Structure 1
Amino acid sequence: MLELLPIVAGVIAASILAGIMAGLLGVGGGIVLVPVLFWILSFIDFPAALSMHMAVATSLATIIFTSISSARAHHKRGSVDTALMRRWGPGLVLGALAGGLAAKFIQPDGLRMIFGVIALVVAVNMATPKTLVLSDHLPNSRAANGAISTVIGFFSALMGIGGGTLSVPTLSAFSFDIKRAVGTAAAFGILIALPAMLGFVVSGWGVADRPPFSLGYVSVPAALLILPFTVGFAPLGARLAHSLDAIWIKRAFALFLGVTALRMLLG
């Protein structure tokens, strides 16, 4: 029992940080939770074939509730763009469900590489003095918006994140206000995490060697340990997002993405 205490303490610390990051950056917390859960499972000699899938799926389960907490805090400050949610919602849901179902056919190293490469690319873009700008407004085409949101939903599901990692820099590239992008991305997390988690439950159902009390690839005990801390600290992150200068939000975003991406790529 005592040997489990450092592991529990590590998960709690990561959960607190994930909750703050969820509110501060609109990322749902998965950008912190996925690598931490993966490393903890690897440390305890959990089956390598399951570690990444379990980390991603369990992260998604917690993001549902973390995103609700974070989105409510941002909505109170008027930074959730409901019109954009209606425009991107169907694509996010469809892409996330497809990603969760497709995970069954992707090897663990493949999921880890997807996480690391995409996170590193986004980190470099956000860390540059001048963020990439493609246009001064979002596309007017319904098809273009559907394609963008579906891709974001699909890869967010495979990475176990709430969508902010991809949607915030994407919106920034179309000259979207950073604080409004963060607030709306927090709400995107709900639309992404629920269908993505269901996809991982289905794709992991009946897979051998899963730990007790798992639903597909989702570890229910781990999710229950994480949730109180991510949900409880998300509003603090949201308050910080509205009190800090936008440039510091971008730098914090880039720093966390860069560190976690390199660690995942290095194994």
Structure 2
Amino acid sequence: MDFMTAEFAMVAVMLLAAGAVTGVLAGLFGVGGGALIVPVLYEVFGFLGLSDEVRMPLAVGTSLAIIIPTSIRSYMGHRARGAVDEALLKSWALPILAGVLIGAGLARFAPPFVFQIVFVVVAGANAIKMISGAKKWDLGADLPTGAGLYSYGGLIGLLSALMGIGGGQISNMIMTLHGRPIHQAVATSAGIGVLISVPGAIGYMIAGLGQEGLPMDAIGYVSFLGMILFVPTTILTANLGVKLAHSLSRRHLELAFGLFLALVCLRFVYAIVTG
């Protein structure tokens, strides 16, 4: 694509606007915004004329790379307010890393619709729980210990790497279903985004090395042009989301996150139906 055309200007504006929304979501819900980034990048790479074989993994890998600065900014903001469960982050670090590396390795073989269906079922159930405020949905008074806790970490890393998200949606679901306060779940999930995005982006770079049909700016399945256009506004708006999260009551934050999950579910349902 010619960098001086109206088409490129439209793509740039679309990426900058999507970046601003992503930054707010990162701070507000402790998520990386991958559920928004991936479909936007997928369409942008279509504008650039890339083949269907590389568009999706390139969108996922670039999404994980974009999530790195937004997750760090969001995590630091929540940590400054003392809301992050640092002990849980340490317990989940290695299992999440293992899950991310496995997910990055499987990304080019696994059918995307399988993981989309899993996400729709789990996220849909939690969206209903959040919106209804029902406590009977809780799986326990707190998170399990030992193997159960580590299994959750591995699951978060695996699904996040395959879906190109920072893990906030999944970790938020797990934590709130086990009785953790929504503000703590949001804050801790921001840190989980850092644990997922860094090794995930590196894994996709390696997985895409030598693949044909990738743009010149890409290293493996990560487009640096996409990063340059997307990242600036995410960094600028992430702290706005953090402030907004801590200004809301527990109930209002639950409602907002429930509605967000419902919208993400609809996006995945649309992707499954349209194939």
Task: Give the alignment's TM-score, normalised by structure 1.
Answer: 0.92
Matches within 5 A, 1:105-120: 105-107=109-111, 119-120=123-124
Where 2:19 maps in the other structure, the secondary structure is: helix
Residue among 49, 53, 57 paired with 2:57: 53
Segment of structure 1 superposing worse, 104-113 or 66-75: 104-113
Where 1:79 maps in the other structure, the secondary structure is: coil
Task: Work out the CA distance in 1 between the residues paired with 2:205 and 2:159.
Answer: 17
1:34 maps to 2:68: no
1:10 maps to 2:14: yes
Report if the CA contact (8 A) 1:71-1:184 is conserved: yes
Identity of aligned residues (%): 38
- Which residue of structure 2 aligns with residue 134 of structure 1? 139
Residue among 152, 161, 184 paired with 1:180: 184
Task: Work out the CA distance in 1 between the residues paired with 2:102 and 2:14.
Answer: 32
1:193 maps to 2:197: yes
Residue among 150, 155, 161 paired with 2:159: 155
Task: Work out the CA distance in 2 between the residues paired with 1:233 and 1:117.
Answer: 30
Residues 1:121 and 1:208: Cα distance change in structure 2 (over 3 Å): farther
Segment of structure 1 superposing worse, 151-160 or 129-138: 129-138
Task: Work out the CA distance in 2 between the residues paired with 1:205 and 1:257.
Answer: 34
1:98 maps to 2:79: no
Report if the CA contact (8 A) 1:22-1:70 is conserved: yes
Task: Work out the CA distance in 1 between the residues paired with 2:207 and 2:140.
Answer: 38
Residues 1:37 and 1:119: Cα distance change in structure 2 (over 3 Å): farther
Residues 1:144 and 1:42: Cα distance change in structure 2 (over 3 Å): same
Residues 1:107 and 1:212: Cα distance change in structure 2 (over 3 Å): farther
Counterpart of 1:26 in structure 2: which amino acid? G
Where 2:231 maps in the other structure, the secondary structure is: helix
Residues 1:116 and 1:214: Cα distance change in structure 2 (over 3 Å): farther
- Which residue of structure 1 aligns with residue 234 of structure 2? 230
Where 2:216 maps in the other structure, the secondary structure is: coil
Question: Unpaired runs of 5+ in structure 2?
Answer: none
What's the offset of the Cα at 1:264?
3.5
Counterpart of 2:212 in structure 1: which amino acid? A
Report if the CA contact (8 A) 2:123-2:173 is conserved: no
Residues 1:91 and 1:101: Cα distance change in structure 2 (over 3 Å): same
| Cα deviation code 1:24-83 (max 9, x no counterpart) | 000012122112222333455531122221111111001111111100100110011111
Question: Unpaired runs of 5+ in structure 1?
Answer: none
Task: Work out the CA distance in 1 between the residues paired with 2:16 and 2:259.
Answer: 21
Counterpart of 1:237 in structure 2: which amino acid? G
Task: Work out the CA distance in 2 between the residues paired with 1:39 and 1:109.
Answer: 18
Residues 1:121 and 1:258: Cα distance change in structure 2 (over 3 Å): same
RMSD (Å) for aligned C-alpha atoms:
2.0
